[in-house]
Chains A and B, each alone.
Chain A
Amino acid sequence: ACSNDTTAPTSSVENEGKETNEDAEIVYIGYSGPLSGPAAYYGENTLSGLQLAEEEINKEGFEVNGKKYNIQIVSLDDKYMPNEAAANAKRLVQENKTPIIYNPHSGGIAAMQVFNEQDQFIVAAYSSEPDITQVGNSLTVRIPPTYDGYIEPFTKYAMERFGPKIASLPTATQYGKDWSEALLPYWESKGGEVVYNTAIDFSKETDFFTILTNALKDDPDVLFIGGASEPTAKLAIQARELGFEGGFIVMDQAKLDEMKAISGSYETLEGAIGTMPLIFSDYPGTKPFIDSYQAKFNKDPGSEAGFHYLSLFIFVEAMKAAGSVDDAKLIHEHMQDGIDSLPEDKKVYVVEEIDENGGFNLATQYGVIEDGAVAPVE
């Protein structure tokens, strides 16, 4: 295998056996993310959305300048490490001439941004890290929304329903810290009080009782939690075990439905407010997406999958509008066109526009758990 450098790394979705579009050319789309190690599940979820999109796109193929194309995802493992992500990006550009490379962590994205303009590829950045779009990189597309939109409604809801004391226990990633840095001042400005504030490193903590005991000692009304859904759910469960009866503000990385899978019922999570789980969303394209995702992967999709799925369709549309499948700059310039011409049934979320820094702007929905069920907030 070592000497056979010309063969492209195959995608994990098998392309052989699909009889359509035999004469179509292939556009390689790069992906670098954690596919082994502690963050592998996160990586797999993000990749799965791309794979589903790839499959659907290739049923018909797409046409640019009268030429037919198929997509092929080339995925490489970077173990969540920036330098590996950079090496992967180099490799993808060099061997597959990928005009777009996805990466789902801020470190990898930042490392790629060092050379993506020079090497002419778009970083499809799945991160809510504000820096990603603020460094002024001209070939970056930030896919998920920033969390600013959540601060106000979450605060309002939680404070009104439960009271003014909050204990903050976000995940110990930059994303988590930024979230709490945005939330807590706002919370205080609305007359609230922060009674405890620390970050939890889910990759190092075996048991959350110690932290929770401290967080709960001043009887907070609300817990601010978040991170990967499953450990976040564990945190909520253990808070209940320790007698906590208030509500939760759940940052957007965790999904209420995924948390319920761990807690067993929504009762435990009563009073939690967070982003609307994809399965409860009702954008035009959500339903078809959920159906085909369930058919393919045999589980409910999370928003990571949804965003990746959606974004690939937008990129394809942008390529069509740009009239090029390989000119990253041109594609980036036509992102707005791509968004505008996205078919209704692919709108898993509704992206309104792409801002001047390359960030998607979209309307988001929130959900709360009331009486043991998810309910949308007005």
Chain B
Amino acid sequence: MSSIFSKRNMVIALIVLAFVIPFVLQNQYYLHILTLACIWSIAVYGLNLLAGFTGYLSLAHAGFFAIGAYSLGLLTVKAELSFWLAFLVAPIITMIIGTFVGIIALRTKEHFFAIYTLCVGYIIYLIIDKWDSLTGGVRGLIGIPSPANIGPISFDTPLSQYYFVLVVTLLCILMVYRIVHSLTGRTFIAIRNSEELALSLGISTAKNKLLSFVLSTFFAGVAGALYGSFIRFIGPEISYTTIMFDFLTYLIVGGIGTLSGPIVGTFLIVLLSQNLQFLQDYRMLIFGPLLTLLIIFSPRGIVGFVLTKYHQHQRKTSAVLKDARAKEG
């Protein structure tokens, strides 16, 4: 009983905190960072759905993130579509491209899948970089509008943007939560566990893997579209491997295959690396080893570590309870 109480209320408390924090901080810069972290975390949730729950590590996600961002950018800047329509279409375009990539890429497994998608990500980067006439090439795409007003609500202050991104992030987390906790999610987990077993249980692994892949590109696309509308300037580097490694780092540090891992990892690393800025040249000298140590001492990520402790604790308490009961009896 107490555990339900605490878990539920923790989540509510965190959400409330997320809503009031701008008033506590009163700091535009932190607001900016928090908004960015929310955006990254959506992409990491996408990655987690595929890598963490379905067991396929895609290294093309920075590419899909960029496709989302560029779709929004091109639709608003070049096609002059209304923002909200573009915001809707961008993830759909990402998913369509994701479907094609997924169909072929999912022929491979394990390392080969990882490298295959790494190549795909790199190809996406090269296309964005080289296809000047469409994407603006290295110059990037400038002048992406922020979200258009909805009636009286406008999104041109950092605060309103933060709330917009926060709401989308929460919706995405809710979506992931529901997927993971539904029969679909159980199916993904079964595939990660053992494709052979899943198949023998009558699960169409091909269909479900593709579904998972496409869904994960959807989240990458949403994150990309948000990013475009928030930074309002995008360049090819957002599809580069650096961003991909960032995603991967957020995911692994937070805890792959856990529900809160992406958000924990993203916020931790983003805030950490921002707070190490004062170290100047020494920043990476500290951050690099810190990252490595974190992995060595907690290979399952922060959330994995906490969960293990939690389970140990539970086991102990239940053992104690059992003992107590045995004594009574």
Whether the complex brings A and B within 8 Å at their CB atoms is answered: yes
* A interface residues with partner B (beta carbon < 8 Å): 1-2, 5, 7, 9-10, 12, 35-36, 75-77, 79-83, 86-88, 90-91, 93-95, 106-107, 110-111, 114-115, 119, 129, 131, 135, 172-174, 177
A10 to B280, CA, bound (A): 9
Interface size on B, residues (CB 8 A): 35
Q: Which residue of B lies closest to A112 (CB)?
A: B233
Q: Which among A79, A111, A177 is the interface contact of B137 at CB below 8 angstroms? A: A177
Minimum CB–CB distance from B207 to chain A (whole Å) comes to: 36
B284 at the interface (CB under 8 A from A): yes
A94 contacts which chain B residues (CB < 8 A)?
A: 27-30
Q: Chain A contacts of B234 at CB under 8 A?
A: 82
Most buried by A among B227, B235, B276, B283: B235
Task: Give the contacting residue for A36; candidates B138, B158, B227, B283; CB below 8 A.
Answer: B283
Closest Cβ neighbor of A108 among chain B residues: B233
**Are B235 and A107 in contact (CB-based, < 8 A)?**
yes
Known: A82-B231, A129-B139. A91 touches B29 (CB 8 A): yes
Given contacts A82-B140, A107-B237, could you give 8 more A-B pairs where the C-beta distance is less than 8 Å? A2-B275, A36-B284, A83-B238, A87-B36, A91-B32, A93-B28, A94-B29, A95-B27
Asked if B278 lies at the interface with its beta carbon under 8 angstroms from chain A, I say yes
* Contact between chains at A173 and B36 (CB < 8 Å): no
Q: Is there a chain A Cβ closer than 8 Å to B194's Cβ?
A: no
Q: Do residues A1 and B28 form an inter-chain contact, with CB atoms below 8 A?
A: no
B138 A86 Cβ-Cβ under 8 A: no
A-B contact pairs, 14 of them (CB 8 A): A2-B272, A5-B27, A77-B280, A81-B237, A82-B140, A83-B231, A83-B238, A87-B274, A91-B33, A91-B277, A94-B28, A111-B231, A114-B231, A174-B139
Given A9-B277, A107-B233, A131 and B29 touching (CB < 8 A)? no
Tell me if A174 and B274 are in contact (CB < 8 A): no
Docked Cα-Cα span, A105 to B30, in Å, equals 24
Residue of B nearest to A91 (CB): B29
CB distance from B52 to the nearest CB of A (A): 25
- What separation, in Å, do the CA atoms of A93 and B29 have in the docked complex? 8
Nearest Cβ distance between residue A295 and chain B, in whole angstroms?
Answer: 22
Q: Which chain B residues lie closer than 8 Å to A81 at the CB level?
A: 237, 242
Chain A residues with Cβ below 8 Å from B293 are none
A75 to B132, CA, bound (A): 32
Would B275 and A90 count as touching, CB distance under 8 A?
no
B271 pairs with A110, CB closer than 8 A? no
Q: Which residues of B contact A (CB under 8 A)?
A: 27-30, 32-33, 36, 132, 137-140, 142-143, 158, 227, 231-235, 237-238, 242, 271-272, 274-278, 280-281, 283-284
Find the B residue at minimum CB distance from A115.
B158
A1 touches B278 (CB 8 A): yes
Find out whether the CB atom of B235 lies under 8 angstroms from the CB atom of A87. no
Q: Is the CB of B28 within 8 A of A119?
A: yes
Q: Note all chain B residues with C-beta closer than 8 A to A106.
A: 139
B34 nearest CB across to chain A (Å): 11
* A35 vs chain B, min Cβ distance (A): 7
- Is the CB–CB distance between A91 and B231 below 8 Å? no
Would A110 and B281 be within 8 Å (CB), given that A91-B29, A172-B138 are in contact? no
Distance in angstroms from A250 CB to nearest chain B CB is 20
CB of A134 to closest CB in B, whole Å: 11
With a cutoff of 8 Å between Cβ atoms, the chain A residues found around residue B284 in the complex are 36
Whether A107 pairs with B277 at a CB distance below 8 angstroms is no
Q: How far is the CB of B164 from chain A (nearest CB, A)?
A: 16
Q: Are B278 and A90 in contact (CB under 8 A)?
A: no
* Bound-state Cα–Cα, A79 to B240, Å: 13
Contact assessment for A110 and B280 in the assembled complex, using a CB-CB cutoff below 8 Å:
no
A1: chain B residues at CB < 8 Å are: 275-276, 278
Bound CA span A174–B132, Å? 10
Q: Which of B132, B233, B281 has the most CB of A within 10 A?
A: B233
CA distance A36 to B30 in the complex (A): 23
Query: Are the C-beta atoms of A110 and B233 separated by less than 8 Å?
Result: yes
CB-CB under 8 A for A77 and B283, given A2-B275, A86-B231: yes
Instruction: List chain A residues, Cβ under 8 A from B238.
Output: 83
A50 to chain B, nearest CB (A): 14
A110 touches B138 (CB 8 A): no
Which chain B positions have C-beta within 8 A of A12? Answer: 280-281
CB–CB B278/A10 < 8 A: yes
Given A2-B275, A12-B281, A114-B231, answer yes or no on A174-B28 (Cβ-Cβ < 8 Å): no
Q: Give Cα A113–Cα B199 distance, bound, in whole angstroms.
A: 54
Residues on the A chain within 8 Å of B281, using CB: 12, 35-36
Q: Are A90 and B277 in contact (CB under 8 A)?
A: no
Q: Which of A2, A76, A91, A173 has the most CB of B within 10 A?
A: A91
Residues of A contacting B235 in the complex (Cβ-Cβ under 8 angstroms): 82, 107
Q: Which residues of the partner chain B approach A5 to less than 8 Å between Cβ atoms?
A: 27
Q: Separation in Å of the A199 CB from the closest CB of chain B?
A: 9
- Chain B residues with Cβ below 8 Å from A111 are 231-233
* Chain A residues, Cβ within 8 Å of B271: 2
A43 vs B148: C-alpha distance when bound (angstroms): 37
How many angstroms between the C-alpha atoms of A83 and B39 in the bound complex? Answer: 12
Closest to B33 in A: A87
Least Cβ–Cβ distance between B151 and chain A, in angstroms: 23
Whether B142 and A110, one on each chain, are in contact in the complex, defined by CB atoms closer than 8 angstroms, is: yes
The answer to whether A35 touches B280, judged by C-beta atoms less than 8 angstroms apart, is: yes
Bound together, the chains give a CA A115 to CA B31 distance in angstroms of: 14
A7's closest neighbor in chain B, by CB? B278
**Judging by beta carbons under 8 Å apart, are A90 and B29 in contact?**
yes
Complex Cα gap A135–B142 (Å): 10
